[in-house]
Amino acid sequence: GGGGGGGGGGGGVVRKERRKEPASSEIPYRFARELLEEKRSRRLDISKEELEEYIQSQYSDGRRATPLGSPGYVPQSALSTVPFDTSPPNLREVKEVIKTA
């Protein structure tokens, strides 16, 4: 006869190797933060004026005040023949809204 159960041979204790999961599944928020955040280990060695000049050149629009106009692919609508009523609602209109609500 053979030995007891287990069928692994060797007779010693068989350990299951625990598979090492990637860091993204262990601590997802820390992993994502470390992946996306900028490293702050360097010091910026320029003057404040140089920095402001660079930012101004990158993030300003010299043609900001110029109207854009209508794009060519949007059809022009016909002018309305009835003027838009901007007056406050009258009592009859208020009652109609209340009745339908």
* pLDDT score of 95 more than 90: yes
As to burial, measured by CB atoms within 10 angstroms (0-12 exposed, 13-18 middle, 19+ buried), residue 64 is exposed
More confident residue, 92 or 36: 92
* pLDDT score of 10 more than 70: no
The first and second tokens of residue 63, run together, are 């043609």
How far apart CA 36 and CA 28 sit, in angstroms, is 12
Question: What pLDDT, on the 0 to 100 scale, is given for residue 25?
Answer: 61
More confident residue, 70 or 14: 70
Alpha-carbon torsion 15, 19, 23, 29, what sign? Answer: negative
Question: What pLDDT, on the 0 to 100 scale, is given for residue 19?
Answer: 61
More confident residue, 18 or 65: 65
* Residue ranges of E strands in 1-101: none
